[in-house]
Amino acid sequence: MAAFEYIALNTNGKEEKGIIEADGSRQVRQMLRDRGLAPLSVTVTREQKNKQVLSFFQPSLSVRDLSLITRQLSTLIAAGIPIEEALLAVSKQNENPKSKAMLIAIRSKVMEGFSLANSFAEFPRAFPSLYRATVAAGEAAGHLDLVLNKLADYTESQQESRAKIQQAMVYPVILFLLTISILAGLLGYVVPDIVKVFADTGQQLPALTVFIISLSDIVKDYGLIIVIIIALIVFGIRRALTVKSIKLNYDRRILHLPLIAKMSRGMNVSQFASTLSILSSSGVPLVEAMKISGQVLSNSWLQKKVSEATVSVSEGSSLNTALEQSGYFPPILLHMIASGEASGELDDMLFRVSKSMQQDVEVLLSVLLSLFGPFMLLIMGGAVFTIVMAILLPIMNLNQLVV
Helices and strands (DSSP H and E) totals, the chain: 17, 3
* Statement: residue 385 has pLDDT above 90: no
Of residues 87 and 51, more confidently modeled = 87
pLDDT at 49: 46
Of these ranges, 50-64, 172-186, 238-252, the one predicted with the greatest mean pLDDT is 238-252
Q: Which amino acid, 344?
A: G
With bands split at pLDDT 50, 70 and 90, how would you rate the model's confidence at 369? Answer: confident
- Residues 254 and 272: their CA atoms lie apart, in Å, by 18
Q: At the fourth CATH level, which superfamily is domain 162-403?
A: Type II secretion system (T2SS), domain F (1.20.81.30)
- Residues 308 and 297: their CA atoms lie apart, in Å, by 14
Of 219, 133, 232, nearest to 183 by C-alpha is: 219
- Residue spans per domain, the chain: 2-51, 57-156, 162-403
Q: Which helix (H) or strand (E) holds 12?
A: none
Residue 100, φ and ψ in degrees, nearest 5: -65, -45
The CATH code of the domain at 57-156 is 1.20.81.30
Taking only the tens place, the pLDDT of each residue in 326-352 is 888 888 888 989 998 888 888 888 888
Kindly report the average pLDDT of the chain as a whole number.
Answer: 80
Among 194-203, 293-302, 305-314, the minimum mean pLDDT is found in 194-203
Taking only the tens place, the pLDDT of each residue in 66-85 is 888 888 898 898 888 888 89
The CATH code of the domain at 2-51 is 3.10.20
- Residues 273 and 286: their CA atoms lie apart, in Å, by 12
Mean pLDDT calculated for residue range 123-147: 78
pTM exceeding 0.85: no
Same fold, 2-51 and 162-403: no
Of residues 349 and 165, more confidently modeled = 349
